[in-house]
A and B are shown apart, each in its own frame.
Chain A
Amino acid sequence: MPLLELQNVTKAFGAVVVADELSYSLAEGEALGVIGPNGAGKTSMFNLITGTFAPNSGSLHFCGKPITTLSAADRCRAGIARSFQIPQPFSGMTVFENLMVAATHGARDSISKANRHCLEVLEKTGLIDRANAPAGSLTLLGRKRLELARALCARPKLLLLDEIAGGLTEHECRELVDTINDVRKEGVSIIWIEHIVHALLSVVDRLIVIDFGRKIADGDPAETMALQEVREIYMGVDADG
């Protein structure tokens, strides 16, 4: 049984189609990379998986159960957590309290269990020294780390990462890759949207390419990157822009 399954998921805003008959499945423990030009519908796909949008047609299953009509909150409780491409911190709360929200509501941990787990995640993600800082005072790098840390505190089975490596130095990027690989070892499945391809390829074992809301390639990362169609669409746009 796949962990996540999308069947012909379609979503349009007026004439703009952000997901066009998207279908794929993700096995438990798998790490899937997602690439595609800006505006291809990658983040929209996350919004459809997490329930921020409802699809116009098609269906989604998680752990074998239909989730198409579940609310975003219920999907998180079922085990889907995400990081946002544009960080969405609870600015008035401290970093630690941001994590506590995820632990007590997403994972539904008891307060004492949540306290312990949040402290562990703060250490793992290098945020422990900023634990009492208001989340609004963090730098962009800090906010990106907070996105990852907060998602982890929800104890996800499936972790969705949206361009979490953008703007990091080479060293920071390696640290991030190590953290994500550690998360994988704990059995968490990952879907990662990323433009920093070398970081992505050092984690994922499968790659899909999305353009105009359609899946145009799906398979082994190295083979997928070598496809002529992918090179034209993906790299072509990248070189221009």
Chain B
Amino acid sequence: MSAATYTISRSTPVSRAAAVAGLILCLFLAAAPWWAGRADLRLMSEIFLYLSLASLWNLLAGYAGLVSVGQQAFVGFGGYMLFAFTMFLGVSPLLAIPIAGVLGAVVALPVAILIFRLRGAYFAIGTWVIAEVFRLVFAQVSDLGGGSGTSLPIDVVKSIAASRSARESTSYWLALGIAVLVIAVAFLFLRSRQGLALTAIRDNELAAKSLGIDIWKTKLVVYIVTAALTAATGALIFLQKLRISPDAAFSVNDWTAFVIFIVVIGGIGTLEGPIIGTIIFFALRETLADLGTIYLLVLGLVAIVVMLRAPKGLWGMLRAKVGIEFFPLARRVVKPSETQDGRHGK
């Protein structure tokens, strides 16, 4: 049989069904302002924003091997850019969000040149230090409220939409939009030739560079794209909160620790993992938050148990047992006679 008779398949029956189901789910969620209450919309917005942060951190740590504990630098930076551009330059908040993203990419470049000299644990600590530097810098800006922070002026808020319900719907759609955008970007990136390079680097750096992959450049691209989308997400987070302060904007707990929890329990290095992790995180939070510190103890316990029992996360465990993937990244060689069953050949 000659090579010409083989074909390359990039989807499976499961993934095609998942794509249809995903589309229907997105449409259903997009219609939420007509079927959900005000509190539910707020909660769902928050879920989407966390999903976005988690998917971004997963791309960074799970695929590029860049274990950052300083992504709050870009969350806070994005938030502050939203406030600065709307308050001082009169830019519309909707336009300030992509601007925050672009500027996030711009500041990520010198940060990357600095911290890419560090490896492993030193890299992680380095990113945290950078985030602290960001926090201290923004605390010095008195026009943005200095150390105590500031609120978004009422006329800026009203420029989003005239009525309160229209503002809440817009804000919800933006949160849903960024989550969908982030997952789409991650998916398309991983399916591209850059995705091949990134996965190769994750598996074996020595072989990757010997086969023509520029490791530094590949990681840099991921770092900058992640920073841009994290900053845009940060702008959206503080558009919802309407108030910003250095401690809230650059909180390692809120924007990195919880995000790592989500990715680790969901399944690092898979696109499905952060989705599962986000659902579990919010399910725990909504049922246990009234318990105060016990809630945090339970979170820690869940993380420990999952790491011991399922080191690849809940999705990793499920995938090993059932062998399905909703986001098809694989390139399968199909013989003309072969029917696909969506599983890797053993």
Contact = CB atoms under 8 A, between A and B. Distances in A.
A133 B344 contact: yes
A96 interface: yes
A83 to B, nearest CB: 10
B333 A73 contact: no
Given A123-B3, A133-B345, A133-B346, A101 B213 contact: yes
Given A82-B210, A132-B345, A133-B346, A89 B333 contact: no
B344 A101 contact: no
Nearest to B345: A132
B197 A50 contact: no
B209 interface: yes
B20 interface: no
Interface stretch (B200-208, B229-237, B289-297): B200-208
Interface string B6-50: 101000000000000000000000000000000000000000000
Given A97-B330, A132-B344, A133-B345, A88 B204 contact: yes
Interface residues of A, number: 44
Given A97-B330, A132-B345, A133-B346, A73 B203 contact: no
Interface string B199-228: 110111011111111110000000000000
B212 A102 contact: yes
Contacts of A106: 211-212
B212 A73 contact: yes
Contacts of A131: 6, 333, 345
A34 interface: no
A116 B3 contact: yes
Contacts of B200: 90, 93, 98, 101, 105
Nearest to B202: A92
A134 interface: yes
A44 B105 CA distance: 40
Q: Which residue, of B199, B202, B207, B346, has the highest number of chain A Cβ atoms within 10 A?
A: B207
Interface string B321-346: 00000000011110000000000111
Interface string B51-76: 00000000000000000000000000
Given A52-B209, A94-B331, A94-B344, 12 more contacts: A73-B210, A73-B211, A73-B215, A81-B211, A84-B210, A88-B210, A96-B331, A104-B197, A105-B197, A122-B333, A128-B6, A150-B211
Interface of A: 50, 52, 71-73, 76-77, 81-82, 84, 88-94, 96-98, 100-102, 104-108, 111, 115-116, 119-120, 122-123, 128, 130-134, 137, 150, 154
28 contacts: A50-B210, A71-B209, A73-B213, A73-B214, A76-B211, A77-B212, A84-B206, A90-B208, A91-B203, A92-B199, A97-B196, A100-B331, A101-B208, A101-B211, A102-B212, A105-B196, A105-B197, A105-B200, A119-B3, A120-B3, A123-B3, A128-B6, A128-B333, A132-B333, A132-B344, A133-B344, A150-B207, A154-B212
Interface of B: 1-4, 6, 8, 193, 196-197, 199-200, 202-204, 206-215, 330-333, 344-346
